[in-house]
Every structure is written in structure tokens, then in C-alpha cells.
């Protein structure tokens, strides 16, 4: 019986973190407070939810790029290749953002006098990206259902009002993620929102530069 206890405890912790992944949309503060526990057991239990969020958020980021909306204008692209490229590019973007963005966030926190490990900074960044992952699950099925392949054609049916509606909603989800990041830093570090915002400013600027650098080459194909 005692030999089965550790696996059962691990499963329970993992289940709690999956539930917290859903709860972050409604009650983010308890989720971020739970991140204060950076023990190996807790970090392992939340690693899968974090990676799932980051991967979905990466795909959402690639799909939201204006250059992605032109992929079907190139003769070598078809719907299958667009899906493959988006999947791979999203994974690459997620990988870079998770590791490099986590490092920058960690640097920002430490520069502002905060504490904690690089691992916890990565996990904090990951959970803060939950709204971006949600945008992939909510916005893109609707957009594809309404506009289909025109979502990847310049000047397609999604141009005009439709384009700006979906762009505005994507921006709203991105702002939500930014607010969660500032809130998360404040809760984990027990800081005021103002102090947390200062520590996040560096990563926001740097990730914007990285995003531009990664996505602009798509427009030169």
C-alpha cells in the first residue's frame, strides 16, 4: 500500500494543476499563489499543463500574424501544408518564447529585486499565456467556419470588417494575457501591481521584437 502512495499523490497533484489551468480564466490569484511552491514535485505536476498552454498559444501567435494570412497566395502552399507549417512554426515560436521569454522574465523579476527560480518564471509565463491558448480554441474555429481558406488569402472574404473584428478580438486576448502576467508576477512575488508591471516591461518589449523577427521572413518567400 505504501508503495502506491507516491504515484497516487503525484496523480492528485497533476489533476489539481489541470483544474487550475481551467480556473485561471476565472480566479487567477489562487493559481498564481500555488506557483509560490516551486518544489520538484509541484513543478513536475504542472509541467504538462504549462507545455500544453504554451504550445497552443504559440500556434495562436503564428496564426494571428498578418503574413500567415497570405500563405495560400503562394502556389506551393495548399491547406495541408498550411496546417503543417502553422503547427511546426507554432511549436518553434512556443519553444523560443517559453525558454527565452522565461529567461527575460526571470531577469526582469530579479532586476526588480524579486526571488525565485528560472523554472518558476517559465511556468509563470506559461500560465499567463492561457488566454492566447483560449483564443486558438475559440476564435479560429469560428473564423475558419465563416471564411474557410480565405483566412489565408490576401484580399479574401475575411478582409474588411471581418478582418478587423477578429484582429480586435485577438488583441483583446493578448491584452488579457499581459494583464495576467503582471498580476501573476505581483501575486507570486507579493508585489504591488505597479512594481510587477515594471518587471514585465522588458519582456514585453523584447518579445515584440522577437515576434517581428520570426514572422517577417514569411512575407519574403
- The one-digit pLDDT tens for each residue of the chain (221 residues) are 444 445 666 668 899 999 999 999 999 999 999 999 999 999 999 999 999 999 999 999 988 877 777 776 776 777 788 888 899 999 999 998 899 889 988 988 888 889 999 999 999 999 999 999 999 999 989 888 887 777 776 766 556 677 788 888 999 999 999 999 999 999 999 999 888 888 787 666 766 676 666 655 544 55
76 with 103: CB under 8 angstroms?
no
Residues 148, 37: Cα–Cα separation, whole Å: 45
For residue 11, is it within any domain? no
Closest CA to 48 of 89, 87, 19: 19
Tell me what pLDDT residue 99 has: 93
Chain centroid, CA 182 distance in Å: 14
For residue 21, is it within any domain? no
Would you tell me how many other CB atoms lie within 10 Å of the CB of residue 79?
12
Domain extent for 109: 29-220
For residue 10, is it within any domain? no
For residue 95, is it within any domain? yes
DSSP state of 65: S
- Residue 22, C-alpha cell as written in the block: 481551467
Q: Backbone dihedral region of 112: left (phi > 0), alpha (psi from -120 to 50 degrees) or beta?
A: alpha
* Exposure on the CB side of residue 216, measured as CA atoms within 13 A: 6
For residue 6, is it within any domain? no
For residue 2, is it within any domain? no
For residue 13, is it within any domain? no
31 with 127: CB under 8 angstroms?
yes
Residues 125, 6: Cα–Cα separation, whole Å: 28
- CA 19 to each of CA 45, 96, 132: distance values in angstroms, whole numbers, following the listed order: 12, 26, 18
For residue 103, is it within any domain? yes
Q: Could you give the number of structural domains in the chain?
A: 1
Tell me what pLDDT residue 152 has: 75
Angle formed by the axes of helices 40-64 and 130-147, to 10°?
30
Amino acid at each position: 500500500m505504501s508503495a502506491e502512495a507516491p504515484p497516487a499523490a503525484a496523480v492528485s497533484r497533476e489533476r489539481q494543476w489541470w483544474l487550475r489551468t481551467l480556473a485561471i480564466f476565472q480566479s487567477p490569484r489562487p493559481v498564481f499563489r500555488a506557483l509560490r511552491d516551486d518544489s520538484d514535485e509541484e513543478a513536475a505536476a504542472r509541467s504538462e499543463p504549462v507545455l500544453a498552454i504554451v504550445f497552443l498559444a504559440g500556434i495562436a501567435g503564428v496564426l494571428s500574424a498578418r503574413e500567415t494570412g497570405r500563405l495560400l497566395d503562394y502556389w506551393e502552399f495548399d491547406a495541408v501544408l498550411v496546417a503543417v507549417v502553422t503547427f511546426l512554426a507554432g511549436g518553434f515560436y512556443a519553444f523560443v518564447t517559453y525558454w527565452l521569454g522565461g529567461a527575460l522574465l526571470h531577469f526582469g523579476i530579479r532586476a526588480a529585486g524579486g526571488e525565485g527560480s528560472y523554472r518558476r518564471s517559465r511556468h509563470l509565463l506559461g500560465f499567463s499565456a492561457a488566454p492566447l491558448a483560449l483564443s486558438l480554441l475559440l476564435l479560429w474555429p469560428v473564423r475558419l467556419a465563416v471564411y474557410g481558406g480565405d483566412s489565408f488569402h490576401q484580399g479574401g472574404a475575411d478582409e474588411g470588417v471581418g478582418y478587423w473584428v477578429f484582429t480586435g478580438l485577438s488583441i483583446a486576448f493578448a491584452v488579457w494575457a499581459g494583464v495576467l502576467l503582471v498580476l501573476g508576477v505581483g501575486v507570486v512575488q507579493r508585489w504591488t501591481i505597479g512594481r510587477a508591471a515594471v518587471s514585465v516591461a522588458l519582456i514585453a518589449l523584447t518579445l515584440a521584437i522577437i515576434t517581428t523577427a520570426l514572422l517577417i521572413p514569411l512575407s519574403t518567400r
